[in-house]
Structure 1
């Protein structure tokens, strides 16, 4: 698979955020949203890994992700 020049559709993301916020947006708001999303996923996987090891599982399962989902969502609510 060849590397893409863009990681996500910037214009589409800006339109979605603008439609939900009804506020003026800065030029790079899409980059900040994307970075916040990647940090959220990183934290979710880290917490799920810890929870699965505590439960004695070999790897990360959907159940371990579900257990930590609410906690991680609250941290990134803003």
Structure 2
């Protein structure tokens, strides 16, 4: 189930205002899941890049390096 800390109706209105397509009943849940998968992929790629570079942890610079790759994977 989607987190309850955001108003579902507001999310649907925002998406509907930016889209000319009909929306399903649970479109906000699908958006949340896609966002979660994107963050998971971003962190996985950043962790790999950081280890290859010999860094001890993931930094903002490492995330910026892999951001475009992850965004391309999730482009709709």
> TM-score under structure 1 normalisation?
0.89
Aligned to 1:70: 68
Q: Summarize deviations over 1:22-58 as a string: whole Å, max 9, x none.
A: 2210101110000000000000000000000001100
Provide runs of 4+ in structure 1 moved above 3 Å.
Answer: none
1:17 aligns with 2:15: yes
Higher RCO (CA-CA < 8 Å; seq separation 6+): 2
What's the offset of the Cα at 1:10? Answer: 1.1
Unaligned 5+ runs, structure 2:
none
C-alpha distance in structure 2 between counterparts of 1:54 and 1:9, whole Å: 41
What's the offset of the Cα at 1:7? Answer: 3.6
The aligned length equals: 74
Q: Secondary structure at the match of 1:77?
A: coil
Aligned to 2:49: 51
> TM-score under structure 2 normalisation?
0.91
